[in-house]
Amino acid sequence: MSSNIQPGGVPVLVLKEGTSRSRGHEAQHTNIEAAKIVAESVRSALGPKGMDKMLVDNFGDVTITSDGATIMKEMDVQNPAAKMLVEVSKVQDNEAGDGTTSAVIIAGELLTKAEELIQKGIHPTVIIDGYRLAQEKALQTVEKIALPVDLKKQDFLKKAAATSMASKLVAEYKEYLADIVVKAMLLVAEKEGTKYKVDVDDVRVEKKTGESLKGTSLINGIVLDKEIVHSGMPKRVEKAKIALLDAALEIEKGDYDAKINIEQPEQIEAFLKQEEITIKAMVDKLVAVGANVVICQKGIDDLAQHFMSRKGMAAVRRAKKSDMEKLAKATGGKIVTNLDDIAASDLGYAALVEERKIAEDKMTFIEGAKNPKAVTILVRGSSPRMNNETERSIHDALCVVRDLLQEPKILAGGSAPEMEMSKVIRKYAESLPGREQLAVKAFAEALEVLTITLSENAGLDPIDVLSDLRSRHEKGETWAGIEVLSGKVQDMSKTDVFEPLTVKKQILKSATEAAMMILKIDDVIASQKMKSPPMPPGGMGGMGGGMGGMPGGMGGF
């Protein structure tokens, strides 16, 4: 494959020996198949009736999730075209925070429909052009039907946050958690004119196993999963002046083994005395600048602890770097790397620093900080696995609230927007000439995959639901959708299922872009290194174990 035979019979070698190459229809077909398999693998996770996935990594660690981005990340996909769909979920996660499963499913369906058209002899470029036109129409349609949200009232923020959690393991507690998520986001949001500036990273999530998620709480400050180091130190310091240290409060051991010859007992004493003096000088420096709390990223020597407790200081050691940065932001303090340079102006402030017992562990709470833009959600699920999935679900919900604060427009869910877009695009297609018309229509049909998947996952007949919804939208029922908990086709704007416009627009963009990118490829040149292991028949070689099992024809990679 990597050479051409010239008329003279001399082969011209262009590519390295062992390089494999597939071109034209073959390349397109294999790429599309691979991407479809990936999309297929997340389908059953969509919506509140969707199933969860159990992912086992190479170390045997188990993750249980229904979060599209997490499933895709953990799947360890090898095939390059399939990897592009993994990218879709990443882009979706970064840009909107929710909607990752939908984006992948729609991208997969756009490719399925494209393949049908290619088989009918329509050139991929025509399909790509058609998809581009249809995507524009889709975006215009959702913009048009989106409902404005009054941010003074929190009801829609809560509904959208709850909807994003409805499809997760935490669904039972979605209202309770949505309330916390909205409160947390509003505490850290900054109003700039009529707009909001928000950063989801200002809301921290700490996890501690507890009785149930009902025990989850919002703390107006930062929680460190650390205890106060010494029993003689105060467990509660009000009006805390906090020193943030990235320096050890101990005598640093040199890089070389030092050998000290001691011949007389007095010398040992002098040596120890010197050590004591050095450590005491460190603590004295902290006292001199007025610190009554010390949060140290490194270790704190026993002797230092002793001196500090005598001065009534509280201290935490080995704090995480990320926590230190948050603390600096929240308390207005500076992280000091050299104790000699510390000044009173480097200290941060918090109204209260307190050690509290949570479950079996002790945690340190830093509340009422100078800058209130740091809040913590303390998750108390019944197991570490539950806590991890809760953290992921809270992340989605925080993003949804952020999206709404930045663009206060909302859509009802249950595939109502997709059905409406589908109707508008189908009508639009009729105004176009032959081949493009087919591509635009294919896009309209692909959007219906959401209705089909939501219905399938809820055990409903997708064909019945789809035809009912099509005819309702034809009659002008913009918000007709499928409410999967009741299993009824209904006006979704009368339910509590709402999603931000931002998420939907991003789904359309990321799904269409990925499909177009895969369709554009007609030549796959793979170096020998990329060759995948021999393929067992029948698709996925097990989640997490890699996607070695692509269907036949993928051997070129």
- Residues in touch with ligand ATP (CB under 6 A): 45-48, 50, 66-69, 98-102, 163, 166-167, 396, 413-414, 450, 454, 482-485, 497, 499
Q: How many residues bind Mg ion (CB under 5 A)?
A: 2
How crowded is residue 485: how many other Cβ atoms within 10 Å of its Cβ? Answer: 14
Chain residue whose CB lies nearest ligand ATP: 413
Only segment of 158-166, 364-372, 520-528, 541-549 that touches Mg ion (CB under 5 A): 158-166
Which residue, 369, 347, 349, is CA-closest to 289? 347
Which residue, 531, 422, 526, 537, is CA-closest to 474? 422
Give the orientation angle of helix 124-145 with respect to helix 501-520, to 10 degrees. Answer: 180
389 scored as a contact of Mg ion (CB under 5 A): no
What distance in Å separates the CA atoms of residue 171 and residue 390, rounded to the nearest whole number?
Answer: 10
Catalytic, out of 63, 70, 101, 112:
101
In the complex, the smallest distance separating the C-beta of residue 385 from ligand ATP, rounded to whole angstroms, is 17
- Indicate the SS3 state at residue 220: coil
Residue 159 or 380: the one with the smaller Cβ distance to ligand ATP is: 159
Only segment of 159-167, 235-243, 338-346, 427-435 that touches Mg ion (CB under 5 A): 159-167
Structure tokens at 55: 């992912």
Q: CA–CA distance from 238 to each of 307, 317, 361 (Å)?
A: 20, 19, 22
Residue 102 or 388: the one with the smaller Cβ distance to ligand ATP is: 102
Residue 166 or 377: the one with the smaller Cβ distance to ligand ATP is: 166
Q: In the chain, count of helices (H) and strands (E)?
A: 16, 23
Which residue, 98, 54, 91, 96, is CA-closest to 75? 54
How crowded is residue 265: how many other Cβ atoms within 10 Å of its Cβ? Answer: 8
Catalytic, out of 323, 346, 396, 403:
396
In the complex, the smallest distance separating the C-beta of residue 450 from ligand ATP, rounded to whole angstroms, is 6
Do strands 11-13 and 409-412 pair parallel, antiparallel, or not at all (unpaired)? Answer: unpaired
What distance in Å separates the CA atoms of residue 166 and residue 441, rounded to the nearest whole number?
Answer: 32
Catalytic, out of 30, 70, 100, 478:
100
Q: Say which entry of ligand ATP, Mg ion, none residue 245 contacts (CB below 5 to 8 A, set by partner kind).
A: none
What distance in Å separates the CA atoms of residue 423 and residue 199, rounded to the nearest whole number?
Answer: 36
In the complex, the smallest distance separating the C-beta of residue 172 from ligand ATP, rounded to whole angstroms, is 14
Residue 47 or 462: the one with the smaller Cβ distance to ligand ATP is: 47
In the complex, the smallest distance separating the C-beta of residue 485 from ligand ATP, rounded to whole angstroms, is 5
Q: Say which entry of ligand ATP, Mg ion, none residue 482 contacts (CB below 5 to 8 A, set by partner kind).
A: ligand ATP
Residue 158 or 317: the one with the smaller Cβ distance to Mg ion is: 158
Mention every residue, 6+ apart, whose C-beta is less than 8 A from residue 370.
Answer: 330, 331, 332, 348, 349, 350
In the complex, the smallest distance separating the C-beta of residue 104 from ligand ATP, rounded to whole angstroms, is 8
Q: Say which entry of Mg ion, ligand ATP, none residue 413 contacts (CB below 5 to 8 A, set by partner kind).
A: ligand ATP
Give the chain's length.
Answer: 557
Specify whether 100 is catalytic: yes
Q: Say which entry of Mg ion, ligand ATP, none residue 454 contacts (CB below 5 to 8 A, set by partner kind).
A: ligand ATP
In the complex, the smallest distance separating the C-beta of residue 72 from ligand ATP, rounded to whole angstroms, is 9
Query: How far does CA 378 lie from the centroid of its chain?
Result: 18
In the complex, the smallest distance separating the C-beta of residue 482 from ligand ATP, rounded to whole angstroms, is 6
Residue 100 or 478: the one with the smaller Cβ distance to ligand ATP is: 100
In the complex, the smallest distance separating the C-beta of residue 162 from Mg ion, rounded to whole angstroms, is 11
Mention every residue, 6+ apart, whose C-beta is less than 8 A from residue 527.
Answer: 16, 18, 19
Q: Which of residues 197-226 bind Mg ion (CB under 5 A)?
A: none
Q: Which of residues 74-103 bind Mg ion (CB under 5 A)?
A: 98
User: Using CB under 5 A as the criterion, what x/- string covers residues 160-179 for binding Mg ion?
Assistant: ----x---------------
Specify whether 495 is catalytic: no
Residue 164 or 510: the one with the smaller Cβ distance to Mg ion is: 164
Specify whether 30 is catalytic: no
Structure tokens at 284: 């004295």
Structure tokens at 227: 């205890």
Q: Give the containing element (helix H, strand E) for 187.
A: helix 174-188
CB 180 within 8 A of CB 189: no
Q: Say which entry of ligand ATP, Mg ion, none residue 102 contacts (CB below 5 to 8 A, set by partner kind).
A: ligand ATP
What distance in Å separates the CA atoms of residue 307 and residue 304, rounded to the nearest whole number?
Answer: 5
Specify whether 522 is catalytic: no
Only segment of 119-127, 157-165, 379-387, 467-475 that touches Mg ion (CB under 5 A): 157-165
Residue 149 or 497: the one with the smaller Cβ distance to ligand ATP is: 497
In the complex, the smallest distance separating the C-beta of residue 37 from ligand ATP, rounded to whole angstroms, is 18
Which residue, 65, 47, 44, is CA-closest to 55? 65
Structure tokens at 71: 């499933």
What distance in Å separates the CA atoms of residue 138 and residue 508, rounded to the nearest whole number?
Answer: 8
User: Which residues are paired to 55 by β-bridges?
Assistant: 63
- Binding residues vs Mg ion (CB under 5 A): 98, 164
Catalytic (active-site) positions: 67, 100-101, 396
